[in-house]
Amino acid sequence: MKITPNVIPMIIDPLGKAWNQPDYKGIIIDDDNATMSEDDLNKLAEYSHSKPSGVYAGKMWKRKLRDGRWILCWYGYHENPDLCSNNERWVVLSK
């Protein structure tokens, strides 16, 4: 698998069939931010004080900081195929 830090991979793990999230293609990732619609933000599960169970590439969720800002989190590919990378970016809502 190609490791690209600014790309959310498509979920291919069978466990992902039960996980609801927005289409990764609608989220623009750069080195600092994840730009998405408010509708897509609302489709993400919130895990502000923990992490979701089940680790597989492409799984996304949101985390809210005490100051009210949102962070997009996702698991990506890792150079070791038995592991996933942990990624996060500040959420910027598109207009």
47's CB contacts (< 8 A; 6+ apart) are 61, 62, 63, 73
More confident residue, 7 or 42: 42
Does residue 38 surpass a pLDDT of 70?
yes
Please state the rounded mean pLDDT for residues 10-26.
Answer: 94
pLDDT band at 23 (very low <50, low <70, confident <90, very high): very high
Please state the rounded mean pLDDT for residues 55-78.
Answer: 97
Does residue 18 surpass a pLDDT of 70?
yes
Do residues 44 and 1 make contact, with C-beta atoms less than 8 angstroms apart? no
Token pair of 87 as six digits: 């990624």
Domain ranges across the chain: 14-93
